[in-house]
Structure 1
Amino acid sequence: MKRKKYMLDGIKKVSERKKRANELITNLNIKLRTGWTPWAEVTSSRQYTSIIDVIDLYHKYLAKLYKAGTIKENTLKDYEKRLRVFEEYIFKHVPAIVYVYQIDQTFISDFLDYILLDRDSSARTRNNYRTWLSSLCTWMVEKQYILQNPVERIKQLAEDEKKRSALTPSDLQKLQKYLKKENPHFLLLCQFAYYTFIRPDEISNIRLSDIFLKEQKVFIASSISKNRRDGMVGLNDILIKSMLDLKIFSQPSHYYLFGKGFKPSKEKTTTRVYRNYFYKVRAALKFPETYQFYSLKDSGIRDLANAEGIVVARDQARHADISTTNKYLKGSDMTVHEETKHFEGNL
């Protein structure tokens, strides 16, 4: 508790002084009940904006970014989901959070603890929320709702290694043999992920018109690419043969390559459908849970890097730097050039 004095002795008449004091008491009580404090370091009237109004404005801001093509649909859904969790926490917080200036380091830290402890989330999920909150607070600083980003002083937590592993060569062969009989179209999808390293969400947006059969390549437009840049990826002989065998190019060019039923279709399919079907195949083949649909990309990068070198794998994966490609290679997967074993130095 701190004492805050309002000096009224400048008002000469006692009756006027009492009247002014009663008005002051009434107004202060109303403001205090809504979360206001005379000790708040508020330098702008915007910092007294209702947090509800600020969140509503941020919803509209995200919708505008999506409409302009600045963020993708998955990003919009992810941000909106996190924003809803944040709103729920604000509404049930005691004491009440009313003004935007109350979003400080203590509040953010408590919210991240809520994500980690109360919601029993992983350190990775908590860190993802921290990253998202930093972008939200950066936006609020830009709009002058808060003075500084309170997330900057909150550290990331150490994360466990991702529970995802590349398929072994023998398991890749088992997968190929099983799907060739059970679902050749899903086999083509798996081969596409394995040989091209294209991300699942990007694959779901590829149309037949994006494939250049004679040049054996596929175009990834910036509008569907994660890095927001146009890209071109090679298609090897196995993929071309599989697509021709399945008569993929007999369908209209505007069709999605892997639509409904994993076949060319005018109806787009979500990556959730890809994952769910892969889980069924994984169960049928009794593969470990560390095998995920995205593991096909891990497996492809490993095998291409070992066969043709990490630079080739880097370019096929559209990585800006080899260090990114290296993250897909575990210690046992990394190549050792024979030349290094027989190199004669000068020491």
Structure 2
Amino acid sequence: MPKKNLLSQKKRSAIHEIVGWKLPKFHQASECYVAFSAFNPEKGKLCMKKIMLGHIHGKRQQRQYGEDLVKRITEKLVNGWNPWIESEQPLEYTEFNVVCEKYKEYLFKLYRENNMREESVATYSSCLNILREWKEKKHINLFYSYQFNHSIVGQFLDYVFIDRNNTLQTRNNYLAWLKTFCKYMLERGYISNDPTASYSLVQRRNLRKSRDVIPDGLLRELHEWLEQHNRHYLLACYMLHYLFVRPKEMSYLKVGDFSVKRKTLHLHGSNTKNRNDAVITLPDHVLKLMLELGVFNNPSHYYLFGEGFMPSETYHSEKSFRDYWDRRVRKALNMSARYKFYSLKDTGITNMLRANTDILTVRDQARHSSILITDIYTPKDIKEANKCILGYRGVL
């Protein structure tokens, strides 16, 4: 084929793909049918499709049915329907809203099977709701699942980052969720390729946590203030600072989870971040405070931190720990906003390492998956030669 003809054919194919389709028309002569053209990606051009109506008896009935069919087909074409693709990949023509509802059902099923945390389900559901609200608000042409493509992903990420004025971290969080959402759709045949594949997390320069390690002097002030005003909340601070129990995990702690004899706390996998059971050492001074507060005089099924942070039969959310810290503790001690309740955990790990506690011991107490994670907390001023190793010599 001459080069000129080949280029001409490619140009026509590109034009046809841009046009996409032509309006359907009703025909009633020797044959009765509705005909329309749509871009056939396999052939690279617009192809005509006929829907015969000869089985309908009576000219009037044929015309009425044909005109209604023209309206329905036109609406489907406007929404992105393509008969040639549908015949090859029918699941890609599942309505996007239907896919979203199925995805939500999938998330809640994972949660019921203890395969996803409640916070993750809530976060993923929130991201999905924002996506659907954006689609409706901006009138995005996203009717069928196959239309969820690279361009749509880019537009949505820009909406999150620029229009909603969120941080780069939030933009990255949404992209991470989009990748899991697209994986779900790809595995089920709702899309034929991953539209997030070319997008990556944007690295933030000068990355720094929004919280700081609390200095020793301020820790002493905190202890003195809580000793006078709320010793039960002091116990909560101990749990985070010495046992490294996360606030969410703390909210599920029960009196029966503690062993006075063994001086341990048993964490149940259903409530932990990594879904694993764990046994944590209970320091003597923490156990002493629990005894002084009469914690073990309560039934074993009582939550350790109920109303007023006292043992109770009623569950209280982890939000109460942060609220009390922000509204009472931080204001009373005139603390910087960078000293958060969760700073107690960072500070506890750092100070335990600073006290020359073996890093493996700290790793196990903090339930880190790797020493590398624990080492992040190691202060630079103690990253020096280990005296135990300096004098060691083996048999070689």
Question: Normalising to structure 2: TM-score of the pair?
Answer: 0.78
Q: How many Å apart are 1:123 and its aligned residue?
A: 1.1
What CA distance in whole angstroms lies between the structure 2 residues aligned with 1:77 and 1:154?
24
Task: Pick closer, same or farther for the CA change 1:340–1:206 going to 2, 3 Å.
Answer: closer
Contact 1:48 1:99 in 2 (8 A): yes
Q: Which amino acid aligns with 1:180?
A: E
**Correspondences of 1:126-205 after superposition (within 5 Å):** 126-159=171-204, 160-205=207-252
Q: Is residue 320 of structure 1 aligned with residue 369 of structure 2?
A: yes
Asked if 2 retains the 8 angstrom alpha-carbon contact of 1:305 and 1:311, the reply is no
Q: Structure 1 residue 269: deviation in Å?
A: 1.1
2:312 corresponding residue in structure 1: 265
Corresponding residue number in structure 2 for 1:220: 267
State the Cα deviation string for residues 272-292 of structure 1 (Å, max 9, x = none).
111010112112111111111
Instruction: Quote the Cα distance in structure 1 between the aligned partners of 2:127 and 2:294.
Output: 43
Q: How far, CA to CA, are the matches of 2:147 and 2:360 in structure 1?
A: 49
Q: What residue ranges of structure 1 are gaps of 5+ in the alignment?
A: 7-12
Say if 1:15 and 1:41 are closer, same or farther in 2 by CA, change over 3 A. closer
Q: Which residue of 2 aligns with 1:72?
A: 117
Tell me the distance in 2 between the aligned counterparts of 1:2 and 1:260.
Answer: 68
1:339 aligns with 2:339: no
1:245 corresponds to: 292
Match of 1:83 in 2: 128
1:212, distance to aligned residue in structure 2 (A) = 1.0
8 Å CA contact retained: 2:86, 2:92 = no
The structure showing larger relative contact order (alpha-carbon pairs under 8 Å, at least 6 residues apart) is 1
Distance 1:137 1:315 in 2: 36
Q: Which amino acid aligns with 1:321?
A: S
Residues in 1 aligned to 2:30 and 2:372: alpha-carbon distance in whole angstroms? 74
Distance in 2 of aligned mates of 1:272 and 1:81: 18
Q: Is 1:66–1:72's contact at 8 Å kept on the other side of the alignment?
A: yes
Amino acid at match of 1:155: S
Q: What amino acid does structure 2 have at the position aligned with 1:299?
A: T
User: Are the aligned partners of 1:137 and 1:150 in contact in 2 as well (CA < 8 Å)?
Assistant: yes
Q: Give, in whole Å, the separation in 2 of the partners of 1:42 and 1:196.
A: 59
Which letter maps to 2:112? K
| C-alpha RMSD over aligned residues | 2.8
Deviates more, 1:87-96 or 1:230-239: 87-96
The answer to whether the aligner puts 1:234 opposite 2:281 as a matched pair is: yes
Structure 2 Cα separation of the partners of residues 71 and 42 of structure 1: 36
Query: Residues 156 and 21 of structure 1: is their aligned pair in 2 closer, same or farther, counting only changes over 3 Å?
Result: same
State the match for 2:354 in structure 1.
306
Match of 2:15?
A: 2
Percent of residue pairs bearing the same amino acid type: 33
Residue 256 in structure 1 maps to residue 338 in structure 2: no
Shift of 1:309: 2.9
Q: Does structure 2 retain, via aligned residues, the 8 Å contact 1:35–1:95?
A: no
The equivalent residue for 1:21 is 35
Map of 2:331 onto structure 1:
283
For residues 379 and 74 of structure 2, the distance between their equivalents in structure 1, rounded to whole angstroms, comes to: 62
Determine the C-alpha separation between the residues in 2 that align with 1:316 and 1:16: 85
What do the CA deviations read for 1:208-233 (whole angstroms, capped 9, x no partner)?
11111111110111111111111111
Of stretches 77-86 and 209-218 in structure 1, the one that deviates more from structure 2 is 77-86
The answer to whether the 8 Å contact 1:42/1:101 transfers is: no
For the pair 1:108 / 2:163, whether they are aligned, the reply is no
How far apart, in 1, do the equivalents of 2:15 and 2:137 lie? 26
**Which of 33, 45, 63 is 2:90 aligned to?**
45
Distance 1:57 1:14 in 2: 43
Structure 2 unpaired stretches of 5+: 1-13, 21-26, 37-49, 52-68
In the TM superposition, residue 330 of structure 1 has moved relative to its aligned partner by 5.4
Q: How much does 1:20 deviate?
A: 4.2
> Matches of 2:391 and 2:351 in 1, distance apart?
25
Corresponding letter in the other structure for 1:150: P
Q: TM-score, normalised by structure 1?
A: 0.89
Compared CA separation, residues 95 and 253, structure 1 to 2 (3 A): closer
Shift of 1:124: 1.1
Alpha-carbon distance in 1 for matches of 2:345, 2:87: 50
